[in-house]
Amino acid sequence: MSSDTPIRIDCLQYCNWSEKIFRQLRSGGLDAVHVTIAYHENFRETAANIEAWNRRFERHAGLIIPGRTADDVHAARRSGRTAIFFGLQNCSPIEDDIGLVEICHTLGVRFMQLSYNNQSLLASGCYEPSDAGISRMGRGVIKEMNRVGLVVDMSHSAERSTLEAIEIAERPIAITHANPHRWHPVVRNKSDTVLKALAESGGMLGFSLYPHHLAAGSQCSLHDFCTMVARTVETMGLTHVGIGSDLCQDQPDSIVEWMRTGRWSKQVDFGEGSPDNAGFPPQPEWFRDNRDFPKLERGLAQAGFTAPEVAAIVGGNWLDFFRRSFAPAGQH
Amino acid sequence: MSSDTPIRIDCLQYCNWSEKIFRQLRSGGLDAVHVTIAYHENFRETAANIEAWNRRFERHAGLIIPGRTADDVHAARRSGRTAIFFGLQNCSPIEDDIGLVEICHTLGVRFMQLSYNNQSLLASGCYEPSDAGISRMGRGVIKEMNRVGLVVDMSHSAERSTLEAIEIAERPIAITHANPHRWHPVVRNKSDTVLKALAESGGMLGFSLYPHHLAAGSQCSLHDFCTMVARTVETMGLTHVGIGSDLCQDQPDSIVEWMRTGRWSKQVDFGEGSPDNAGFPPQPEWFRDNRDFPKLERGLAQAGFTAPEVAAIVGGNWLDFFRRSFAPAGQH
C-alpha cells in the first residue's frame, strides 16, 4: 500500500473464508476486518470456531494475523497483512455464565451482540413483537464487557434494548452493521433516535452493504449509498461512522438458514428474506467483494467528502474506536 | 523482600485457595506458583475453573497476578505479589481435540500432564498394569504443545510413556512434582533412568513434599529430605531441579477422592493412599504451608548447598525453565 492509501477497516464480515478471500482482502488493501465467529453456538462450539481460525492463522501467516488491539492494525499494515478481529453476533457463547465474558475476551473476542433477532438472556432482538429492554443479567454483562474491553454491539437488537444499552454502558457501544431506517425502513435498520443517542455517547455505526439493508436492495447504486452516508453524517457527525459491510461472500444458503433459525425453531425463519427470496441476496455490482473498497472510496469522494473525511469513514474512525475500546477499563 | 532473598517458585500446588493462603504465599516470599486448575474436568469445566481464578485475580489484586511469562515472575516480585501459573494434571481438558491445546495456552495454561495415573488418549498413567507409551494422538499433541509453548508434564505418567515423551518432545519437559524412586520406592516416584534422561534433555524435576512421596511419609525429616535433594543433584546436575511441593492445603478429603477417582470408576480408587489411610496425609511438621519456604532453604544450606545453589533450587532453575518454555516455538 502506498503511504497515502487510507487505513481500511471493515467492521463486519461473515465470509466462507479461504485463501482466495484472504488474497482479495490484500488486493482491496484491508488492514483489518471484524469477523463473526458465532451466531447460535454455545461456548464449546465457539471455542471450536476459534480453533478453526487458529488453523487459518497458521496456514495463511503471510496474509492474516490475529487482531487484539488497535496496534495490531498498524502491525498488519506494516507487514502487508490483514488483522482479523473476532466478534459474536449473539450472546449464546457466554451461555448463562457471566464469567465467560472475560474468557471470551482472553480468547480474542472484541465485539458481542446482546441479542440476534430474538429475545436473549440479555436483551430483545429486533424481530420480537415486544421489547423488554435490558434484562437483569444484561445489566451485569454490559458492566463486565465494559470492564474487560469487549464492545457491546446492538446491530440485531430492538430499539428500547438498544437505547437502554447505550445508557447503561459506561463505554461507547457499536452498531457494527446497519443503515438508517429513514433511508430504508426495514426492521434491521436504525431510527434517528438510536443513531443520535449512539453518536452522542461516542459510539459507532458501521454502514452495511448487505442488500436487505439497502434502499433498492441489490439494485442500490453507489451514488445512492454514498448520498445516504452523507445524510447520516449530517445527523451523527463524521467521527461516528464507518463501514460494516456484512459481506457474506461464498457462503452457501444453508448458512443464512443457520444465521436466522439456529436451533431455536422447527420451522424455517426467513428473517430479512421471504419464502420466495430465502437465500443470500446478490451483492450490488459495485461492491462484490473486498477488492471493491477503492471503488467505495471514489463514490464517497464524488458525494462530496474530502480525502481526510473518506479516510475517517473507511477506517480511521474504527481505528480510533478500537483504541478506546479493547483494553480493560482503566488501561485504555 | 530484601534484595538478597532468592526468587522462590513452587512448581505445583493444589490448595483450597483463600485470602489466607494468598497472604501466606506473601509471608513465605513466593514469587510464583504453578497451580493445578483441572484433574478430570472437560474443556467447559476447565473454563469454569479459570473463571473462578479470574474472580480471585479481581478480588485479591493486591496479592496475586496472572502468570503467563517468566517476566511476570519479576513483575510479581517487584510489586510484592505472587504470579499464578495455570496447569492441568491430565489431558481431559483438551478432550479429543488437538485444537484445544492452543486455546488452553491462550487462556494461560502453561503445563499439562499427558496422563493422570490412568491410561489417557495420549499416554499411560503410572498405575496402569501395562504402559503402551505415547499414542498416535499423543505424538501430535506433544508437537502442538511444543509449538505453542505448553510444557509437557509427566509427573503421574508411567515409565515408558515418560521416556518416550522426553524423546519425542523437541523442547524440554518437566516432572513438576515427584521424588527419586531410589529414595522412596513408590509408584509415583521416578527411576534413575527417567531422571537422567530428563536432565540430559534439559528438563526439570520438582521435588515433592507430599507425604506419600517422602521416605517415612509425614515423619520424614527436613534433614533426610535435603540429603535426598543433594543425592539427586549428584545424579541430575544442579540446574535441573526445583520445588513442586504438591501442597494441597485446606482441601477436604472429598477432593483427594475427585483427584484419584474422577468419574472413571464406580469404586473408590485409593491411589497412593489405602482404605485405612484414604484422605490427605498430614504434612511434615517442617513444611506445613508456604510460610515454611525459608525453613526449607536453611535445611538445604545445612545439607551443604551454597547460597547461589539454594537460590537455583528454590526458584532460579524454574525461572530459567519458564523463560525457555512458555513462548511459541521460534519466539523464545
> In this predicted model, what pLDDT tens digit does every residue of B264-297 receive, in sequence order?
998 888 888 888 888 899 999 999 999 999 999 9
Average pLDDT, whole number, for chain B?
96
pLDDT for A123: 98
Instruction: Tell the residue number behind the cell numbers 524435576, with chain if given.
Output: B205
Report pLDDT for B273: 87
Give me the DSSP letters along A1-53. Answer: --TTSPP-EEEEE-----HHHHHHHHHTT-SEEEEEEESS--HHHHHHHHHHH
Quick one: closest CA in A to B53, which residue?
A99
End-to-end CA, chain A: 29
Question: Pick the residue with more confidence: A193 or B4?
Answer: A193
Of B47, B55, B99, the CB nearest to A48: B99
DSSP result, A68-98: -SHHHHHHHHHTT-EEEEEEESSSGGGTT-T
CB contact under 8 A, A48 and B106: no
Q: Are B236 and B230 in contact (CB under 8 A)?
A: no
Note the pLDDT tens digit of each residue in B109-162: 999 999 999 999 999 999 999 999 999 999 999 999 999 999 999 999 999 999
Confidence check: pLDDT of B2 > 60: no
Domains in chain B (CATH in brackets) are 9-325 (3.20.20.140)
For B51, the closest of A55, A100, A108 (CB atoms) is A100
| pLDDT the model gives residue A128 | 97
pLDDT value of residue B180? 98
Q: What is the pLDDT along chain A (332 residues), one digit of tens a residue?
A: 456 799 999 999 999 999 999 999 999 999 999 999 999 999 999 999 999 999 999 999 999 999 999 999 999 999 999 999 999 999 999 999 999 999 999 999 999 999 999 999 999 999 999 999 999 999 999 999 999 999 999 999 999 999 999 999 999 999 999 999 999 999 999 999 999 999 999 999 999 999 999 999 999 999 999 999 999 999 999 999 999 999 999 999 889 889 999 999 988 888 888 888 888 999 999 999 999 999 999 999 999 999 999 999 999 999 999 999 999 998 75
What is the least distance, in Å, from the CA of A216 to any CA of chain B? 44
Which chain A residue has its CA at the smallest distance from B49's CA? A99
Q: Determine the average pLDDT of the residues in B16-37.
A: 98
Nearest by CB to B50, which of A44, A51, A103? A103
The answer to whether residue A108 neighbours chain B at the CB level (below 8 Å) is yes
**B52 chain-A contacts, CB cut-off 8 A:** 99
pLDDT of residue B332: 53
Query: Which of chain B's residues have a Cβ under 8 Å away from the Cβ of A46?
Result: none
Q: What is the pLDDT of residue B298?
A: 98
Q: Supply A326's cell numbers.
A: 479493547
Is the pTM higher than 0.90? The answer reads yes
pLDDT of residue A4: 77
Torsional sign, CA A265, A269, A275, A277? negative
Q: Is A45 near chain B, with CB under 8 Å?
A: no
CB pairs under 8 A between A and B: 43
Interface check B52 vs A, CB under 8 A: yes
Please name the residue of chain B whose CA is at the shortest distance from the CA of residue A93. B44
CB contact under 8 A, B103 and A50: yes
Q: Are B182 and B192 in contact (CB under 8 A)?
A: yes
